Chain A
Amino acid sequence: MLIDLNVCTGCSACVVACRAENNIPITGAHEAARNGTIQWLHIDRAWSGGQDDFSVESRPITCQQCDAAPCEPVCPVLATYTNSEGLCVQVYNRCVGTRYCALNCPYDQRFFNWFDYQWPTPMEVQLNPDVSRRTRGVMEKCSFCSQRVLAAERAARSEGRPLREDEVQPACVQTCPAQALLFGDLADPDSRIARAWRHPRLETLLEELGTLPRVRYVRRQDAPGAEALQPGAEDDE
């Protein structure tokens, strides 16, 4: 997934879409006040500049789907692993809740079900039937809407054709009004994402940790130090 910070307005539509698509529990104000919320995707705001002349950078942060995911080797029951498509998947049924993965995630993108959460009526009738509700005591995190990937793959297989590039979109990508998010198959060299993956102004979060994230960000053109760092990159657009 590629996220273009130049285009992102920080409107949080992706956050709402993610919550609706993935049956993310609503934890309430009391839990929100004590960091008890569950948000697979959130907007991280970075403020810079002075009082009158400030700028804000909105950065959607989700599970980075690391290739070398630090959360995976520490799980004693193999409840999280990288599957054949390169996704870091969480198996809710296998999770016993040691919460080691969450501590070992440098992005803090793993969430624990502290309670059995209930949906206030009438919200329970709009739960997505394709996504399981998580019980208390298991971890959860962004799955890149794997239920949509699976459904599209099933459809393609039943029609005996390869998966088309534009067939799968996670809820956040589908919803983004500014189209700041791009999702696709990196294994296909001709896909849009594979071509965009070589963009000169790309950055990955905490690159120095060597986690090889599968989420990359297009750095903002007006980001402080952008010119100094990549003098040639400005001319590419």
Chain B
Amino acid sequence: MNATSPAAAPISIAPGREAPLLRPMLVTGRAYKHMVILLTGVISWGAFCFIYQGFIGLGLTGLRRPVFWAFFITDFVFWIGISHAGTLISAILRLSSASWRYPVTRAAEAITVFALGIGGVFPIVHLGRPWLFFWLAPYPNARMIWPNFRSPLEWDFFAISTYLTGSALYLFLPMLPDLALARDRSQGWRHRLYRFLAMSWQGTQQQWHRLELAIQLMAAVVIAIAVSVHTIVSWDFSMAIVPSWHSTIFGPYFVAGAIFSGIAALILIMAILRRVYHLEDYLQPKHFNNLAKLLLTMTLLWGYFVFAESITTWYGNLPAEMPAFWSKISGHYAPLFWAMVLCNFVIPFPILAIKRLRTITGMVIASITILIGMWLERFLIVVPGAATQRFAFDNWYGYFPHWTEISISLATLAAMALLYMVFSKLFPIISIWDVVGQAPAPTGEGIAEPGPGGAP
């Protein structure tokens, strides 16, 4: 199993340089175990709530006519948005050969896969009969019934499954050399696991060349998929004739919002990783600083989109649109709306724009407020449009979530944390070959070139 010749080593690497990056996988502290128990408890509670809701019926939730969508759809859009961290950050940085990306990409790609998995659960949780969710899949059946390909929800089904496949591949491919390294350094069940996953990676020139090609190709593909996925999620709303949902701006608006919340999630998770796993040497302030600049750009872009969306609605003054609009600006949902503006723009903008405030602590604060603000944004897109008077009929309903909805939503936060913790125990959370490795020989431009060597 141990290759002897240097050319056949999975990664050519200076002795000992990989140890700090492998340590999180090998050393498990007591706090970690306590955290796993706590998170498992929260997730079990959420699962119980879901099963309970399945037996009683969706009447358990705060949903009533005409607010047929609320918390779960908000969570769905929110998590799909978070999932844009990985692809759009790591893939764009990879294609643009930004060399500071090396320690960031793996963490970002993992967020994508887990957030997508969690986001993809919500449309099922939200179904009236969740046990029949597979009817959305076009499988051969005796009654010759196919799903309705005209429905935006059906597009969602394909968009999300495509994105999940693509982003899982995009997470897996750059991990191959690291898996082979782990295979060579481990015993027991871990060795068997890594041997299976490493797919007999030996680090030959040809393998590096193919890997490089595959990663480059997936990076390009995954960007296209990511943009289309959140556009399709936005079309769930803009294809409907519900006033204030029916908006042409929603496609780019949702994609921008997704990248915005994705970067915030990435900064937050990187800060936690850096603290918990003592990765200060790898996740340096310059990486945070670069991400913060991206986040600043997205803050401005988000502010622009909200302004453009609001001003056109207000100026157009269509009778059907105005009840939902005013409920957000000065009515029932105004506190949430202005809290969103505060969280997404007023607080993060100065923190990210002023260099003195752009510390890691500052960025974590900005990221947390942005995550809260983006959740509120999704809520304010979904609910007021459905809840306020639509068209001629005076038929409104003040939505308030039930504790099961809140529990299930919180449980998915715990699920994200738990998945991430387990992932970081099983796989190197920072790409070892990118950061401390040296590729055997330059085989072309781009990713196979030696890492930045920024680490000591």
Residues of A within 8 A of B (CB): 31, 34-36, 44, 61, 70, 73-78, 94-100, 102-104, 106-108, 111-116, 135-139, 205-206, 209
Contacts and interface: CB of A to CB of B under 8 A. Distances in A.
A209 B56 CA distance: 37
Residue with the highest number of chain B CB atoms closer than 10 Å, among A112, A113, A138: A112
B148 A102 contact: no
Contacts of B129: 95-97, 135-138
Contacts of A209: 241, 391
A65 to B, nearest CB: 17
Contact of B390 (A108, A113, A136, A137): A108
A60 to B, nearest CB: 13
Contacts of A75: 148, 151
Contact of B57 (A98, A137, A206): A137
Given A137-B57, A137-B127, 20 more contacts: A31-B59, A34-B64, A35-B66, A36-B65, A75-B148, A76-B148, A78-B145, A96-B128, A96-B130, A99-B69, A100-B151, A100-B236, A103-B240, A103-B242, A108-B66, A112-B68, A112-B128, A115-B59, A206-B392, A209-B391
Contact of A99 (B128, B136, B395): B128
Contact of B69 (A35, A73, A103, A108): A103
Interface string B138-175: 00000001111011111001000000000000000000
A77 B68 contact: no
Contact of A103 (B148, B386, B392): B386
Nearest 4 CB-CB pairings of A with B: A97-B128, A137-B128, A114-B59, A136-B57
B58 interface: yes
A115 B390 CA distance: 25
14 contacts: A73-B148, A76-B153, A77-B147, A94-B145, A95-B129, A97-B58, A98-B153, A99-B68, A107-B391, A108-B65, A112-B68, A116-B57, A135-B129, A137-B129
Interface residues of B, number: 42
A113 B127 CA distance: 12
Residue with the highest number of chain A CB atoms closer than 10 Å, among B68, B133, B157: B68
A76 B241 contact: no
Q: Binding site of A, secondary structure by majority: helix, strand, loop or mixed?
A: loop
B93 interface: no
A75 B130 CA distance: 15
A96 to B, nearest CB: 5
Q: Binding site of B, secondary structure by majority: helix, strand, loop or mixed?
A: loop
B397 interface: yes
Residue with the highest number of chain A CB atoms closer than 10 Å, among B63, B126, B132, B146: B132
Contacts of A97: 58, 127-129
Contacts of B133: 96
A77 B69 CA distance: 18
Contacts of B145: 77-78, 94
B393 interface: yes
Contacts of A135: 129
Residue with the highest number of chain B CB atoms closer than 10 Å, among A31, A76, A100: A76
A114 B239 CA distance: 25
A61 to B, nearest CB: 8
B240 A74 contact: yes
Nearest to B56: A115
Given A78-B148, A108-B395, A95 B65 contact: no
Contacts of A139: 128
Given A77-B147, A94-B135, A104 B242 contact: yes
A78 B146 contact: yes
Contacts of A95: 128-129
Given A114-B64, A137-B57, A44 B135 contact: no
Contact of B151 (A76, A108, A113, A138): A76
A165 B147 CA distance: 36
Contacts of A115: 56-57, 59
A136 B241 contact: no
Contact of A73 (B68, B146, B150): B150
A31 B64 CA distance: 9
Contacts of A112: 58, 65, 68, 128
Contacts of A107: 391, 393
Contacts of A137: 57-58, 127-129
B65 A35 contact: yes
Interface string B227-262: 000000000100111100000000000000000000
B153 A74 contact: yes
Given A73-B150, A114-B59, A96 B65 contact: no
Contacts of B127: 96-98, 137
Contacts of B132: 96
A108 B395 CA distance: 8
Nearest to B395: A108
Given A96-B127, A206-B391, A103 B66 contact: yes
A136 B153 CA distance: 21
A103 B397 contact: no
Contacts of B56: 115, 136
A136 B58 contact: yes
A36 B59 contact: yes
A113 B391 contact: no
Residue with the highest number of chain B CB atoms closer than 10 Å, among A70, A75, A78, A96: A96
